[in-house]
Homo-oligomer: A and B are copies of this chain.
Amino acid sequence: MLSSTVENYLKELFLLDQYGNKEIATGEIAKSLDVTPGSATSMIKTLAQAGLVEHRPHYGVKLTKQGRTLAVHVVRRHRIVELFLVKVLGMDWSKVHEEAEQLEHVVSDEIISRMDDLLGHPSHDPHGDPIPTTDGTLPERPLQLLSFCDRGDSVSIARIGNQNANFLQFAQDNGLLLGARIEVTNRNDIADSMTIHAKGKDVVLGLAAAGRIEVEYA
């Protein structure tokens, strides 16, 4: 059995590089997990020892097949728990990420499987993130960053890639929910901002914030 700490390192390595092409720098994982670089180095050595990552000292680290499999399962647990908390317990989507961060390490496969049944084998979590299947496959969707949309584009929100509770609360308060139909009414690259029309309201977003929202033209 893996410790929560190990699971968090694996999960974070996976999230930093879903496709497993690039090597992750020690500093990057350290920053993501809010530990010092030295701590990350020593954990990476432990993971390499266990065959969960490949480490090229001074260059970076990469999940092995085995490590990736474990990581994907942590992500699956996380996302199913998130959706369960929203759909079954009626919790606010802005809070469930934090809760799932803890629960993902202790819920058994049986619990996950039953939640999955109860939810009808969902493909995406409350933030639009794909839920890996038991065999480790991730459903793919062709999405577009909202920050790349032009004035006049009419799209619907498919994913919010920012788990910060305040940001999610803000999004909710302004009608930026999954599936919401929105229109880009203005865009100003100099001012680094764009204006979105959603649910009868105008919302101004910085392009950085818009870059964390993904949409589809469908």
Contact = CB atoms under 8 A, between A and B. Distances in A.
Interface in A80-118: 85, 88-91, 95, 99, 102-103, 105-108, 110-111, 114-115, 118
Contacts of A95: 110
A113 to B, nearest CB: 10
Contact of A111 (B85, B105, B110): B85
Interface in A56-95: 85, 88-91, 95
Count this chain's copies in the assembly.
2
A91 B114 contact: yes
Contacts of A111: 85, 89, 91, 99
A99 B103 CA distance: 12
Interface in A13-50: none
A100 to B, nearest CB: 10
A207 B48 CA distance: 54
Contacts of A108: 99, 102
